[in-house]
């Protein structure tokens, strides 16, 4: 079971912290024994198959549903007892966005701003310009992509201490995705914290500092994105001066799928390449080609065999 993140990190830096957080819907498990810590100023990616427990986690953190047992704190405040105080400091984009259809974009944003006690309208205008969003149009006339832009603006417009974003780039074209990434990285530079649920793996790889993997309601690992590649399978292709016995490689730890054809040996390696390189050095090596894994390869390594692993 993954712990609370990096060893020795101070609790005082935790923006989100859960301890044994568990939620059942009747007899159906939502999440179980979730121990999670998200640090101040980081972008934390939350990944898992459909039905893994991502949405349950978010809704429990926001006190939309109550845990069966365990606890969660945000900003050191109890998510149940201090729900209103916490929400004042959060920007939230739900995965399923419901909006007042009779209002225009600006009217809806003014409504949200008034609920928050007012926001600097210049922030709203800047976000609308950057996301190429026309605030004068009625919500009912907006495409799904533009509705999503509206949702992003309301989440970011008050410069919250914590952003909880569920599938934030849904419906955005590639140019708008790039602009959103810039906005999110600027939020991180300003000291804001982001909790990001996403199935778009290159997105997570690009912007997140750490990533948590959840499956069947249980958190199975938390990793720095920079360290993920060490745990993934690499495809290795070694060209020798002459054929080599594949048996030399088949019994190495972490090595599988060894194929030897003429003077070329191909294999899949999990983790360190040290044993493979040392064994190859017994022979005359002409070339070594390593196909580095991307985050999708790593994700499949965690969820191999799960038909829902793409979500």
Residue 148 sits in the same domain as residue 39: yes
Full residue range of the structural domain in which residue 207 is found:
11-224
Residue 31 sits in the same domain as residue 158: yes
Residue 237 sits in the same domain as residue 216: no
Look at residue 154 and tell me if it is in a domain.
yes
Look at residue 264 and tell me if it is in a domain.
yes
Could you list the pLDDT tens digit for every one of the 311 residues in the chain? 444 444 444 455 799 999 999 999 999 999 999 999 999 999 999 988 778 899 999 999 999 999 999 999 999 999 999 999 999 999 999 988 888 888 999 999 999 999 988 899 999 999 999 999 999 999 999 999 999 999 999 999 999 999 999 989 888 898 999 999 999 999 999 999 999 998 777 778 789 999 998 888 999 889 888 777 666 678 899 999 999 999 999 989 889 899 999 999 999 887 778 899 999 999 999 999 987 665 556 666 665 545 443 33
pLDDT of 298 reads 65
Residue 239 sits in the same domain as residue 143: no
Look at residue 68 and tell me if it is in a domain.
yes
Q: Which residues contact 4 (CB under 8 A, 6 or more apart)?
A: 14, 17, 35, 36, 37
Residue 215 sits in the same domain as residue 247: no
CA distance 188 to 192: 5
CA distance 127 to 275: 51
3-state helix, strand, coil in the chain (%, to 5): 35, 30, 35
Look at residue 307 and tell me if it is in a domain.
no
CA distance 187 to 127: 12
Residue 108 sits in the same domain as residue 245: no
Burial of 299 (0-12, 13-18, 19+ CB in 10 A): buried
Phi, psi of 126 (to 5 degrees): -65, -45
CATH of residue 126: 3.40.50.300
Residue 165 sits in the same domain as residue 115: yes
Residue 255 sits in the same domain as residue 150: no
Look at residue 311 and tell me if it is in a domain.
no
Look at residue 152 and tell me if it is in a domain.
yes
**Number of domains comprising the chain:** 2
Residue 273 sits in the same domain as residue 199: no
Q: Which residue among 224, 245, 260 closes a domain?
A: 224
pLDDT of 292 reads 64
Look at residue 1 and tell me if it is in a domain.
no
Look at residue 118 and tell me if it is in a domain.
yes
Residue 23 sits in the same domain as residue 100: yes
């Amino acid at each position: 079971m993954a712990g609370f993140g990096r060893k020795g990190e101070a609790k005082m830096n935790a923006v989100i912290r859960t301890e044994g957080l568990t939620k059942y819907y009747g007899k159906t498990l939502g999440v179980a024994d979730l121990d999670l810590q998200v640090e101040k100023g980081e972008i934390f990616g939350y990944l898992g198959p459909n039905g893994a427990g991502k949405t349950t986690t978010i809704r429990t953190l926001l006190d939309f549903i109550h845990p069966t047992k365990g606890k969660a704190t945000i900003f050191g405040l109890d998510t149940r007892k201090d729900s209103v105080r916490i929400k004042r400091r959060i920007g939230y984009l739900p995965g399923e966005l419901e909006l007042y259809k009779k209002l225009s974009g600006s009217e809806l944003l003014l409504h949200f701003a008034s609920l928050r006690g007012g926001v600097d309208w210049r922030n709203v205008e800047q976000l609308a310009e950057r996301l190429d969003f026309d605030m004068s149009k009625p919500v009912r006339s907006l495409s799904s992509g533009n509705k999503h832009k509206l949702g992003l603006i309301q989440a970011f417009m008050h410069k919250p201490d914590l952003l909880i974003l569920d599938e934030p780039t849904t419906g955005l074209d590639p140019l708008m995705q790039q602009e959103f990434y810039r906005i999110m990285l600027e939020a991180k530079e300003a000291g804001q914290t982001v909790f990001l649920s996403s199935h778009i793996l290159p997105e997570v790889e690009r912007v997140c500092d750490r990533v948590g993997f959840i499956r069947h309601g249980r958190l199975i690992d938390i990793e720095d994105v920079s360290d993920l590649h060490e745990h993934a399978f690499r495809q290795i292709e070694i060209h020798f001066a002459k054929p080599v016995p594949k048996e030399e490689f088949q019994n190495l730890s972490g090595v599988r799928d060894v194929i030897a054809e003429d003077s070329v040996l191909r294999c899949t390696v999990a983790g360190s390449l040290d044993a493979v390189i040392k064994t190859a050095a017994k022979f005359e090596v002409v070339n070594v080609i390593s196909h580095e894994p991307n985050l999708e390869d790593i994700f499949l390594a965690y969820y191999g065999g799960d038909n829902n692993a793409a979500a």
